[in-house]
Structure 1
Amino acid sequence: MTILTLILIGFALRLFYLTRSHPFFDEYTTVLAARQILSRGWPVLPSGLFYEHGLLASYLIAPFTALYIFQPVDQWQTAHWGLMLSRWPSLLVGGLTIPLVYAIIRREQRPAAGRGSQFVPLLAAGLFALSPEGMVWGGRARMYALATLLVWLTVWLAWRGTAPGPAGTRFRRLALLALLATLLTQFGALLAVPALVAGMVAAGWLARGDRRPWFLHPAALLDAAGLAVVTAAAVLVKRLGQPLGAAPLTATQGDELGTELWNTIAYQTALHFTWPDTVKFLAREFGVPHHYWLTLLALAGLAVGLTAAVLARQKIRPTFPLFAGLVFGLTILELVTLLEPFRRNPRYVVMFLPLFYTAAAAAISALGRLTPLLRRQSLAQPVAAVGLLIVLVTLGRDDLRVAAVTPEPAYEQAFAWLRPRLGPDDAILTMNTPAAGLYLDRVDGFAVQQDADQFLLTGSGAAVDRWLGVPWVGSAADFAAVLNNRPTAWFIIDTIRLPVYFRGDWLALVRTQMEQVWASDNALIFRTRDDRTPTPTRPDHPLDARLGDTIRLEGYTLTRSPSPPALHLTLFWRPTASIDTDYTKFIHLRNADGVTVAQHDSQPLGGLYPTSRWQAGETVIDPVVIPLPPDLPPGQYRIFTGLYRLDTLERLPVTNDTSGENAVILPGGVNLP
């Protein structure tokens, strides 16, 4: 009855998340892949990319997607019961994993502990049922719920495979099949393979008795060959998906295939270990409230258990919780030594959480053995497990609450709002092209400026996004060109990615050329302003003025507005190297006597994009409006511009300076009527 209650609570938490949260950014890609499976039989995205990521999960999700995806968008049900139907496989798989954790641990308990012992299985299953990670990924249309289940089955089958004889051999073959399914669901689980092999060898050696361990039998050679085939097959499928920077596999010569497969693994790994990065990673995973106290109790229990074994001179006997803990610990060790910090994705740890909870529950049970009441098979064990579970969940309740209520950007609502307002010649720019493809069936530009390589395909020439094959709009000049060439342009983004993937020159265009017309739960829609002055994308007057060793002024565009009187000057800067200083720009309008009659001083783009953030080789388009005095007499005026340090007022030297003051004199000046 207790485990049934935990299953229902875990299912309810996942259902709550499923029905109350907006889709995670990557869920749209999974649903797009499922739609392609329904129409083509396999997940080849509109860009032509084979989407191998979460391959088995995509096939599992596809039948649920079929319930709505072919209906016209305006006939879809509300977001939670339309697109959200694709989340149900994760909910069902996540709910199934809870009793499976309980059942396997109970089955594998040593006879000395008694098959009726419930403390460890109840605590481990309860921790997983009530974990924030289990709730979130059990309510999303992604592969992590299925990967968690498959990792758990693979580890259990591998554990059973450490037994000698035909029974162990059968379990090892089943473990290989489960491992293949795991890798085809989440390739990141490849991290567990060395840990799994090491754990199996250690368990086989410790349990050998007077018999040869499993790995010294001839059948182990066949197992090793099977592992090589499974790994190679998974790597080949991963390579077909064209990882970052890789050309399509069809362009690879046969004698290069082995190298390509090796590079598919190697490009994701690198020997990297520093204490600060390791501490940061461990604090992020185990220092959060819902894991912190659990980890302390587990370490205390481990210390008690080891101390008792040493004092009693007991030989270490392998158990399933010990095996699970060893595999988990070695996998974490690989994460902090074989992956660079930016690749240590918390989602990788999610797949192995049942192993952590199993090992932790077993270690904590060592503390319980100090209490005579818990040594007997009685009501005390489930009561103790549930009581401790309540305490741990209460201590970590903020993590659960934050995971449940923190909104993902409401892209599905944004595109649903936008659909009836689109004109036939409007331009749609977004970073979330899969969502646009699902909801609008059209998108004109993949908008991302910073760290774009990971999202692009470049093999056929012009760069396009990996999902729909949409042209990349990757610079402020490209963005301005779209805004200038379409009657209306829409930019759909969210508050999380806007400051991360877009620099100040892009943000300045959004501020000056567009207006926000819709916002909800971090999702934003901008539309071009009716009263805007289009930003030039190339200079009318080319220059080659060099300021210091790192900046060139490549030209300018100049126009005049009569009412109110003002000059509209756009400067085109190009940094040639990284810049450490935030320079201030000056613009002086001077009459024939050299008197400054109007001026403008500010950081480039009004401070939105200071020079210290400029990227070497890019063009920074810097529009400026210079108000003119209403009584300014007609005549010829000259324009001086340059850069200086605000703290010292020292100007950046101009190469071949003709002004005598380290300023660039714009050729031709301006004739004011």
Structure 2
Amino acid sequence: MVSWLSIRRPSVIRATISPANLRWFLFFGLALGIWLSSTLYVDTLSLPFFEDDPGHIRWLSQFSSPFTPFITAAGIPAYRPLGEMLLKLWYIFLGRHDAAWLRFLNINMHYLNVALVAALAWRLDAGRWRYVTAGIAATLFGVLPFAYQAIPWINVFFYPLNNLLQLLMVLVYWEARIRRSNSLLVVALFLCALSPFEIEYGLMSSGLLLAVEIVMVLQRRQKALWLGGPLMGLLLNVGFLLIWLLVPKSAYQFGPPTPERVMQISAYLLQGITYPAAPLALALKTRFGLNDLLSIALVGLSVLLLVVAVLAYRRKWPTLVMSLLWFFLLNLPGLITLTFDYVINSPRLLYPSGPALAWIWAAFFTALVELPKARASRLILAGATGLAILIIVVMNVDFVGTRMEHYHIAEEPIHQLGTIAAEAATDDKLLVVNMPSWLTPSERTFALGNNGIQLIPFYISIEDFVYAANDRDHPTKAIQFHNIRREQPYYYGLHGQRVSWDELQENLSQAGDVYLTQYEPSNIELVPAGRVTGIDWENVTEGAEIVTIDDRFDLALAGYQKDGDSLQLDLAWNIREATPDDLTVFVHLYSPDGHLMSQDDGYPLRGLSPFWLWESGQVLRDRRTLTFPADSPSGSYAVAVGLYDPDTGHRLSAEDLNGNPLPDDAAILLQIERP
């Protein structure tokens, strides 16, 4: 009699059911999953370093050896040396930090994960339709909606590499058990030992080995549950835990789990495992005014029970058990260590359990087709199931694609910051205002979670982003000033200390060149605003015509640059007398026949520096932008500048140096030809 629990390794019986001749479906699903992944993620190669990437680069810069992260994590809250080592090795190999190369590795690891998910789906489903199940699983994992943060964000390869190690470990362990191969068993245990060094999810690896043993019993490949492999894996994982406890590192600040927190995160995880139907919870919440947790519970539990019932009825226990165990084990670390707010803003946390989502839903759809016995009914249900899969794939592609668009909308300011810092004078402190911290679509897909993109976290310095871009430091400060914030079709957050008018004035007085982030529906860019320090009035106005406005201000054109249809103007203002009045600058572009073609009105420095903020003697350098309409006729165009009271529209008097009044109280500072 064979014991249910056995330390000795029992023989494993190979599968005897011949699958239907649908191998082409597996390759089609695999190719489709990889192709769709490519369409979604290849364009992300242009993205800069973002989120925690600059923090890792800064931390690694203090070490010359790529192996130092294995013995210390001092200064960072996580001990994840494998990815840190790989990041340092690539830096040594390339001679620089290159975001495109590193992201290319992430994308290719995702491709490999798609293939491994398909390979394991084929093994889990020992029935005749295993090729169909594997093909569907490959496609679903390729367009996994929760991967949109995990793949573009390099983050020392945490998520794609961890999945690769664990999927490969399970596959190799499976083959080791089937073939009774000691060498493959050693490889699997090596991967089990290595996985936690990438991220703490790897501590669940021994549990995944146990899941394989359970599956083999359910598939009747063996009569006894062999504990030797899982126990050896557990010892290796405990060994890592001891190392983790000994290695110096900063402490997480999330605190111990509470019942309320566990319940809230569990609701989010329920939404994740039932994600194809989860949008119904949002509709239920909106229609009946339910809170998000209740709506998710009603929809999620109903859908999950349906999926379990169908798989149980079709006796797809191996796939069901492996999927549920994988999902539970890979979400357990986050469930007990992270806060609810952190989890719902981090859908990437569902990427490690993504294989389970692909397997359980692929098996569910295959099982649905197998339910009817009549051929006609089966064909009808197959068509309906295929349509459902198509809808899910299209929804996932749209979900991820929208967020990829937001990455591209927001990437330019980070690129520009690196270029600006590289070209700035060494001792000239840059001030950047309203850099994007995060973006999220205004339309929600799920009842719980923001599901947006994260760019510059509050705990990473803007100077770290400069360092990551240029491999050297430059004095830079980021602030957020909400008075000039404009609503957009998306929601967005700002990076840096939030300041008042007085605090803004203090920051302007301590900075050199000032840059403002301008938000538009389809793009975000960092534009020069001007400066208030280090300006010599005589120097910047040498050879320029000086205009006096209301005997309180001197105005001159310090320079200009025409680039295509864009005209950049540098205005110089000398405040003769401090004023409490709220005055606005007008900058108008007039066509040869006197029509107003373009304007850029507002306080100096793109709204950041009203005159009432300053004392007499202050000099401002004010950057303005005028745009020629595409259909503008050729000829001589005039740029007129002046001041007016925004409450009354009354213009302040303008005179030339000889005291002669200027027509319309507007100084014509530039005449420029348009060919």
TM-score normalised to structure 1 length: 0.54
8 Å Cα contact 2:214/2:225 also seen in 1: no
Task: Structure 2 unaligned segments of length 5 or more: list them.
Answer: 1-26, 282-295, 433-460, 482-490, 536-574, 582-607, 617-675
SS of residue paired to 2:130: coil
Question: In the alignment, is residue 370 of structure 1 matched against residue 371 of structure 2?
Answer: yes
What CA deviation, in whole Å up to 9, does each residue of 1:401-443 have, x standing for no partner?
A: 2122012443542234313542232235782333222334443
The one-letter code of the counterpart of 1:214 is W
Q: How does 1:516-595 map to 2 (within 5 A)?
A: 516-517=514-515, 519=517, 522=524, 524=526, 529-530=531-532, 563-564=577-578
Tell me how far 1:44 sits from its aligned partner.
Answer: 9.7
8 Å Cα contact 2:122/2:131 also seen in 1: yes
What CA deviation, in whole Å up to 9, does each residue of 1:164-189 have, x standing for no partner?
A: x9949877765443233221112244
The one-letter code of the counterpart of 1:229 is G
Distance 1:406 1:446, change over 3 A: same
1:324 aligned residue: 323
Tell me how far 1:102 sits from its aligned partner.
Answer: 1.0
1:392 aligned residue: 392
Question: In the alignment, is residue 433 of structure 1 matched against residue 463 of structure 2?
Answer: yes
1:482 aligned residue: none
Within 2, Cα distance between the matches of 1:70 and 1:234? 30
Q: How does 1:320-469 map to 2 (within 5 A)?
A: 320-329=319-328, 331-332=330-331, 335-336=334-335, 339-344=338-343, 345-372=346-373, 387-407=387-407, 408-410=410-412, 412-419=414-421, 421-428=423-430, 431-443=461-473
Tell me how far 1:12 sits from its aligned partner.
Answer: 1.8
What CA deviation, in whole Å up to 9, does each residue of 1:29-68 have, x standing for no partner?
A: 4555677777665459999757966532344445554565
The one-letter code of the counterpart of 1:213 is L
Question: In the alignment, is residue 3 of structure 1 matched against residue 18 of structure 2?
Answer: no
Q: 1:306 aligns with which of 309, 316, 331?
A: 309
Tell me how far 1:399 sits from its aligned partner.
Answer: 1.0
Distance 1:308 1:127, change over 3 A: closer
2:250 aligned residue: 242
Distance 1:269 1:148, change over 3 A: farther
2:670 aligned residue: none
The one-letter code of the counterpart of 1:242 is S
What CA deviation, in whole Å up to 9, does each residue of 1:238-295 have, x standing for no partner?
A: x4343458xxxxxxxxxxxxxxxxxxxxx76424435873476347746867864799
Tell me how far 1:125 sits from its aligned partner.
Answer: 0.8
Distance 1:188 1:528, change over 3 A: farther
Tell me how far 1:338 sits from its aligned partner.
Answer: 5.3
What CA deviation, in whole Å up to 9, does each residue of 1:61-89 have, x standing for no partner?
A: 45554565449xxxxxxxxxx54122111
1:596 aligned residue: none
Within 2, Cα distance between the matches of 1:506 and 1:201? 66
Within 2, Cα distance between the matches of 1:139 and 1:225? 34
Tell me how far 1:206 sits from its aligned partner.
Answer: 6.0
The one-letter code of the counterpart of 2:248 is L
The one-letter code of the counterpart of 1:517 is Y
2:494 aligned residue: 498
8 Å Cα contact 1:90/1:138 also seen in 2: yes
Root-mean-square deviation (CA, aligned residues, Å) is 5.3
Tell me how far 1:504 sits from its aligned partner.
Answer: 4.7
Distance 1:364 1:400, change over 3 A: same
2:457 aligned residue: none
Percent of aligned positions that are identical: 15
8 Å Cα contact 2:429/2:476 also seen in 1: no
Within 2, Cα distance between the matches of 1:61 and 1:7? 27
Distance 1:243 1:48, change over 3 A: closer
1:95 aligned residue: 111
Question: In the alignment, is residue 137 of structure 1 matched against residue 150 of structure 2?
Answer: yes
Tell me how far 1:341 sits from its aligned partner.
Answer: 1.6
Within 2, Cα distance between the matches of 1:328 and 1:19? 30
SS of residue paired to 2:515: strand
Question: In the alignment, is residue 153 of structure 1 matched against residue 168 of structure 2?
Answer: yes
The one-letter code of the counterpart of 2:141 is F
Tell me how far 1:90 sits from its aligned partner.
Answer: 0.8
TM-score normalised to structure 2 length: 0.54
Tell me how far 1:298 sits from its aligned partner.
Answer: 10
Distance 1:214 1:66, change over 3 A: same
Within 2, Cα distance between the matches of 1:8 and 1:501? 42
The one-letter code of the counterpart of 1:355 is A
Task: Structure 1 unaligned segments of length 5 or more: list them.
Answer: 72-81, 246-266, 451-475, 477-494, 534-560, 568-607, 609-622, 628-673
Within 1, Cα distance between the matches of 2:503 and 2:386? 52
Q: 1:214 aligns with which of 216, 226, 239?
A: 226
Q: 2:122 aligns with which of 103, 106, 111?
A: 106
2:198 aligned residue: 185
Tell me how far 1:7 sits from its aligned partner.
Answer: 4.5
Q: 2:264 aligns with which of 255, 262, 277?
A: 277
> Which has the higher mean CA deviation after the structures are superposed, 322-331 or 345-354?
322-331
Count of residues paired in the alignment: 457
